[in-house]
Structures are given as C-alpha cells and as structure tokens.
Amino acid sequence: MHTTTTTPCRVYLHPAAITSMIAVRAIEHVTGRVAYVHPIDNRVRLITQAEHARLSQPGGAA
C-alpha cells in the first residue's frame, strides 16, 4: 500500500476483504495499521498504533 497524503485519513476495509481473522491480520501486517470495529455501525476501520493506544485508554473514545 502506497500513499502520498500527509493529512490523516480514515481507512476502512471493504466487507468482501473481511473473510476471516487470518485475512484481517494479514491486512494489518501489510498496512502497519490495527483493525478496529466501530461500535455503532460495525464497520472495520484500520487505525494507526497511536490512535489505537488513545482509544484503548479509559475515556479515550469520548
């Protein structure tokens, strides 16, 4: 995956890509991001490690 953008962007997985947890882990490995299931609409979003740390802290997703 290659991108030239310097601004943060949201990256979502297409539903067809979510065939198994093995596929999701492989996508995480290639992109260097972590899969996060959005609690409201159940979309799978690929987030950075820093964003994952912020969301996993108490009160971080407020």
End-to-end CA distance of the chain: 30
Give which of 43, 50, 34 is closest to 13, Cα–Cα. 43
Position with higher pLDDT, 35 vs 6:
35
In this model, does residue 54 exceed pLDDT 70? yes
Question: Could you tell me the residue ranges of all domains in the chain?
Answer: 11-56
Q: Residue 61 pLDDT more than 70?
A: no
pLDDT digits (tens, 9 = 90+) for 6-24: 566 777 777 777 778 888 8
- Taking residues 21-49, report their average pLDDT: 84
Task: Point out the least confidently predicted range of 24-28, 32-36, 41-45.
Answer: 41-45
DSSP 47: E
Q: Residue 46 CB: number of other CB atoms within 10 A?
A: 19
